[in-house]
Structure formats: structure tokens, C-alpha cells
Amino acid sequence: MKDSTTTQKMNVDQSKTTLICLPFAGGSKFAFHRLEAYLSAFCQVKTIELPGRGTRFAEPLLLSADLIVADAWKQIRPWITDAPYAFLGHSMGSWLTFLMAHEIRKAGLQPPSHLFLSGREAPSIPASEPHDYLLSAAAFKAKLKSYGGFDAQILENEEAYAFFEPIIRADFQVLETWKYQPQMPLDIPATVLSGTNEDITEAELRAWSLEFNGEIRFKKFEGDHFFLFEHAEAFSNIIKQRLFEGTLN
């Protein structure tokens, strides 16, 4: 494990780098649209689409970790070539990013040049009890409001919320019923990003260090769970710096 502040030069070809993005609970392939204007200036952005939302809204929702990981892996596998690539995951996407990195290692494929893990505690931290996905309708909506960042028009519009609520609840179920199994640490550099007002402790963030032999750094932004959209340009600049310059301001 390393938590170094030494500047490291990254040998990544900017013109050919792919950034694979994995969305938060309830998010579709368009979840990162507020960031793409900045990210696409220095890399190729690809985002997965899970069943039951976005362009796959007619497909059944997945309620188990094994199924959701298998679906994500099918989409990501063709993007893994000899060209450089990295992962960005937010919230549930950080969990998926972590699991995809282990799938890549099992398959003996070229590893990503970097993992960006945003808005989530380390996978070794147990899920809350009782589980949030079992909350009543009113309590579940209140929980979503507490995160900030969710479209207020959706939360307050009964028809729109009725469409999105089962999607988000299903993702919570996957996350909260998944059982952590310790694995050999990853030899990949990582950056853990978080908001100052998130319901995540410093110890829960630092526990990510247990999952890596590669260099791991930590960066905080002012804001709630969706801080990355409040600071889209600065957030994107961190990714650019870490990929191509090896620095973190």
C-alpha cells in the first residue's frame, strides 16, 4: 500500500486514452453528461448502460451482484485493448469499478492505467443496517433527498418518481446485499474522491488503501454526494492531471 505525495510521470497516450465511466445508483449511460464536455477534451469517454434504465429501460432490473457484474463485464470487455484506458466510477460505479478491475486481472488482460473512485466508502465497509432498500416509500424518498444532486423535479413529480424509484431501489438492493470477499490488492494507482458533506467517514475512505498495492491518493471537494457535478471542471482537471501528469493539487 502507498499513500505517497511524490509526483509521478504517467506514460499515457492522451489522444488514445479511453475513460470508462460507471454510473451511480439509478444512473443511465447519460449520468456523466455534465462532465463529458470537460472529459472529452482529453480522452474518449465510454459509459455502460445497465438493464432497466436509459436505452435499456424495457429490460428487467437486475437484483443480484453476480448478474449486474456479469452484465457490466460484457459491455466493458470489448473496450479493453492494448490502448491505454482508465476507469471512473461514482457511488455504485466505484463499487463496479473495483470489481471490474478484479475481473480484468482474472482474465489476464492489460490493467487500467488508473482507477478514479468517487463518492463511496471502501468495499470492506459493511452496508447499513437495516438496509435502505427496505425503507418505506416516504423514508426512501427522504433518503434520496439527503444526498442532494437528484433532480428535484423528478423527486416531486409523482409520475416521474414512480418510474425512477424502483430502479434506484433495485441498485441499493444489489449494493446492500453484496458480500465483501477480501482479494489480493490491485497493482493499479487510484484516486479516491469525496465530498466534504457526504455521510462517509475519513476512516471509511482511507480503508480503500487496503485494496491497492499501487499508489493511492485522496482528494476532497466541497459539497454533498454529487460534488462532482458541482465542481465538474475542477473534478475533470484532477482526472487529467492524474492520467497525464501524475500530479494532484
**Could you write out the three-class secondary structure of 169-216?**
HHHHHHHHHCCCCCCCCECCCEEEEEECCCCCCHHHHHHHHHHECCEE
DSSP E strands: which ranges in the chain? 18-22, 44-47, 85-90, 115-118, 190-195, 216-221
Q: To 5 degrees, how large is the angle CA 27–CA 160–CA 143?
A: 60
Say which residues have a Cβ less than 8 Å from residue 216's Cβ, sequence separation at least 6.
1, 2, 3, 189, 190, 191, 192, 208, 209
pLDDT reading at 113 higher than 70: yes
Q: d(Cα 101, Cα 93) in Å, to the nearest integer? A: 12
Quick one: pLDDT at residue 13?
A: 57
User: Which stretch of DSSP H or E encloses residue 237?
Assistant: helix 232-240
Average pLDDT in the chain: 89
Read off the pLDDT of each residue in 141-154 and give the average, rounded to a whole number. 77
Q: d(Cα 65, Cα 235) in Å, to the nearest integer? A: 28
Quick one: pLDDT at residue 248?
A: 59
Residue with C-alpha cell 482537471? Answer: 237
Residue-range domains of the chain with CATH: 14-244 (3.40.50.1820)
DSSP secondary structure code for residue 127 in this structure? P
pTM > 0.85: yes or no: yes
Take residue 161 and report the three cell numbers written for it. 418518481
Catalytic residue check, 91: yes
Q: Which residue has the higher pLDDT, 153 or 58?
A: 58
Candidates 4, 40, 91, 209; catalytic one = 91
Take residue 113 and report the three cell numbers written for it. 492505467
